Copies of this chain bind each other. A is one copy, B any other.
Amino acid sequence: MTTIHEVAEAAGVSISTVSYALSGKRPVSEKTRRRIEDAVQTLGYEPDAGARMLAGRRTQIFGLTEPLRADTHAPTHMAFVLAAAVAARRRGYDILLLTDEQASEGMNRVAASNLVDAILVLDVAPDDERADIARSLRSPTVFIGIPDDADGLTCVDLDFEGTGHLAVDRLADAGHTSVTLLGQTEVSYRKSNFPRRLLLGVQERAAQRGVDLDWATTGDTTTDASAVRGAAEMALSRGVRAFIVHAVGDVHEILLETIAAHGLTVGEDVSVISAAASFDTSSLAVPVDTIPLVPQKSCELAVDLAVRHLEEPGTPAQIHLIPPEYHVAGSVAPARE
């Protein structure tokens, strides 16, 4: 293993100059920097992580806690983990995984041992026990999702209520007076809170705009195809021609199939908006207007906030809602008389 001493010797300078040349925290003359870089190159030098942590009081590691509850939608979750890892890496941080029981216990452990510079919290539950833990830690902690008691916490999330407002507005603007919200599974309305927040936003705005609203869940603990089909058919037969879908890809597919089976055409006879979908809606059978939930955005903001808290320790905790963005694909049509 090559050390900073060997690099210094090879370059004919002191170790402090090597350190400064590599960190850029002090100006170094062009030619000495070249010599140092050459030495680093030929010797294959890589600073020792442990020594760095000890001397620099920075680990360049973020903890990522994820309980991985059984009802977590795996693809969505993986997208968030991946996005967090990529975002962190861009800022020079690695991700240390805290899953399962370690999700809570590990937070204390890695914070107390200075293994991580900050902690990112995924898969947030309404009554998340990690909220209290976070409040008791000195390490900056950023929640991706919002617990019921978010007091004193830094949180990042899509503005689900705003998303609900936006979806209803678009349909109401198109003249629809009757809308069905095809939601998540029953269990997710109890164990998470973003589905409720979207529902609330939809209900609120529907009331304001005088829109009749129906709400159907899509299964008990897991997506139930026949329940979805049933709900869609019921709505269509009652004359509903506008849908907001807050669900996984399969539910979208079933709705689109059911609409087609009724001899109706999305974007002409029926309007559909996909709300807060984290999958690629462009791969659906029919193009659907989407207000997407973009893991990259949430995670990049979360990482930015963690870094900011590290660099400016005084930064106040705050909830950051990401404004919804409406992507037109032609699935919303004017209501027919």
Contact = CB atoms under 8 A, between A and B. Distances in A.
B64 A54 contact: no
A81 B96 contact: no
B64 A97 contact: yes
A111 B28 CA distance: 29
A101 to B, nearest CB: 8
Contacts of A99: 81-82, 85-86
A273 to B, nearest CB: 24
A265 interface: no
Interface string A62-84: 00100010000011011001100
B77 A115 contact: no
Contacts of A59: 49-50
Number of copies: 2
A83 to B, nearest CB: 10
Interface in A81-124: 81-82, 85-86, 89, 94-100, 102, 106, 109-110, 112-115
Interface residues of A, number: 39
B97 A85 contact: yes
B48 A113 contact: yes
A51 interface: yes
A46 interface: yes
A44 B183 CA distance: 46
A317 interface: no
B81 A114 contact: no
A112 B48 CA distance: 8
